[in-house]
A and B are shown apart, each in its own frame.
Chain A
Amino acid sequence: MPGGVPMADRAEDRDGLMLDVLHVPLGPVLPLWPAGLIVHTRLQGDVIQEATVEVVGSPGVSFWATEDRGLARRLDSHSRLLALAGWTDAAVEAQRLRDDALDGTLSDARLQKWTRRVCRSRTLRWLLAGVGTVSDGPLAGDALTRLHSPPAKGPHETQWILDNLPAMLAGTELATARLVVASLDPDLDLLAHHGAHHG
C-alpha cells in the first residue's frame, strides 16, 4: 500500500482487456462543476464504466430563481460549458455579460456579438454535437441544441437530471462526461427538500 492508498483493482473493460479500475469522485468541489453534486465514478483509463450520483448538503434558496435573473443564469451556465469546451475567450466574455446582466447594465450589442460568435463557430458545433443526447422531454436535444436554445429548468427537470445522469455518463470518457454535466447544469438548490439521491 504505497502511502496508505490501496492499489487499483483490475477488471475487464468494454473491449475485454484487463485494466486498472479507479474509483474517482467528481465533485463536490471541482472547478466548473455544479455546487454540491458528487458523481462517484468507476474509471478505467479515462472512460467512466459506472457512475452514481449523490447530493451533499440540503437545498438552500437558489440565487438564480429569484427576480428576473433568467438571462444571467443562462449566461453563467454557458460560460461554464464554454470554459469546459476549452474556449476561454468566449467563456470569459459570457461571465462579463452575466455580471452586466446582474447589474442591469447589459449592452444588447455586446450580447448579440457574443451570441453570433458562439453560434457561428463550426468547431464548437462539431465538438458538441451528439454530446449528452436526451431523446424527449423538456431537455431534449444534445449539448449543442441546449446551448443554442436553453431549456427552462425547474425542480422537476433538476430531479430528472439527477435520476438520469448515471445512465448518461456510463461509457463516456471524462471530457465528454464533464460536458454532459455542464450542458444539463442542474441547480441543486431547486430540489425539493430531502437528503441524498442515489441513481
Chain B
Amino acid sequence: MVEQTAWWGAIVLPVVLGLFALAAASWDAVGRGGATLPLRSVAGLLVQQRRRTLAADTVLWRTAGIVLLVAAVLAASVVPLGRWVVGDLSVGLVWFNAMEIVAWAAVWLAGWGGNTAFGLVGGYRFVAQGLAYELPHMFVLTTAAIGAGSLRVGDIVAAQQDLWFVVWMPVAFVVYLVSVLAMAFLRPFDQAVGNDLAGGAVAELSGVDRLVFLAGRWVLLVSGAAMAVPLFLGGGDGPILPDWLWSLVKTAAVLALLVWVGRRSPTIRMERFTEIAWMVLVPVTLLQALFVSIVVI
C-alpha cells in the first residue's frame, strides 16, 4: 500500500515541510505582528551579524541548529504522504522516535554553547521537559504499533482501513498531540525558550544560526503533526480526494489545532507538569496500551 519514492522524494520532502512550517509560523503570528512576521524575521536574520559571547563553544553552538533541522526533516522521512514515503523502514516508528530525541541534544547544545547562565538554564529545562513528556509519548507510539502489530508506518496505516486508530485509541491520540507540542517546545511547553529567560536556549543565538534553529523547531512541529496522520487518522484514507491530498489536509488540520491550542494557554512550568505527566499521563497511556493489547489478542 505504501511504496518508497524515487530519489526526488528526498528533495520534495524538505520543501513541503518548509512550506508547512512557514504556514504554521505565520498562523501563529496572526494578531501579534501579523502573518508576514515570520517572513520579515527570516529577511532580518539573514542579514544580521552574529553576536558573540565570551568563551562560547562555537562549534557545538552552531551545530545545534543544523542538528535540530536535520533531525526534524529525517523524522518526517518515514511519514507517508498518501501512498508515497521517502524512507519505508521496517522500524519507521523507532526511527521517528530516535530523531526527536536527537532534538533534545540540539536544544541542550544551543543552551550550552553560548556559555551564558540563561541559555544553560533553558537547555536544562528542555531536558527536564523531555523526562516529563517522553515516557507517555513512547507508550503512545507503542500503542499504535501494538494496534497494527508492526513498527512499519505503512503497516500502521494499512491496519486502519476499517477503523481509524483515533476512534478506539482516543487517549493515545490526545496524549500524542500534547507530546508533539512538548517536543517542539512550542507554547504551552516553551519554557526552554521562555520570556523569563529572555529567550532561554536561544537567548544568544543570532543571525543565520538563530534562523536555522527556529526553522528546525517549526519543522519538528510539522513532522510531529504529520506523523499523527498515519498513526491515528488513517493516513491518506478518505473519500473523493486523492490520498496524498488527504494526507496534506489532515496534517494542516492537526497543525492548525496545535498552534491554536498553544496560543490559548500560558507556559506550563515543568515543576508543575511533571507531576501530571507521571501521575496521570503515564498510567492513562499504559491503560490505553493494555486495552489495545487485549483487543488485538
Contacts and interface: CB of A to CB of B under 8 A. Distances in A.
A30 interface: yes
B124 A46 contact: yes
A84 to B, nearest CB: 5
A89 B267 CA distance: 12
A32 B272 contact: no
Report which residue of B115, B121, B263, B272 has the largest number of chain A beta carbons within 10 angstroms of its beta carbon: B121
Given A22-B117, A124-B266, A5 B54 contact: yes
B266 A175 contact: no
Contact of B266 (A30, A45, A127): A127
Nearest to A23: B117
B195 interface: yes
B196 interface: yes
Contact of A126 (B117, B194, B272): B272
A63 interface: no
A101 to B, nearest CB: 20
B32 A89 contact: yes
A46 B265 contact: no
A45 B271 CA distance: 14
B194 A121 contact: no
A123 B188 CA distance: 10
B196 A121 contact: no
Interface string A18-48: 0000101000001110000000000101100
A106 interface: no
Contacts of B197: 174-175
The dominant DSSP class at the A interface is: helix
A22 B124 CA distance: 15
A137 interface: no
Contacts, number: 76
- Say whether chain B's binding surface is mostly helix, strand, loop, or mixed: loop
Chain A contact-residue range equals 20 to 34
A131 to B, nearest CB: 10
Given A89-B263, A123-B188, A84 B195 contact: yes
B191 interface: yes
Given A86-B267, A89-B263, A123-B268, A174 B121 contact: yes
A36 B191 CA distance: 26
A55 interface: no
B266 A31 contact: no
Contacts of B124: 45-46
B263 A179 contact: no
27 contacts: A3-B55, A4-B54, A5-B54, A32-B195, A46-B125, A82-B266, A84-B196, A85-B266, A85-B267, A86-B187, A86-B188, A86-B190, A86-B191, A86-B195, A86-B196, A86-B266, A87-B267, A88-B32, A123-B188, A126-B272, A127-B266, A127-B267, A127-B272, A173-B271, A174-B197, A175-B194, A175-B196
Interface of B: 31-32, 54-55, 115, 117, 121, 124-125, 187-188, 190-191, 194-198, 263-269, 271-272
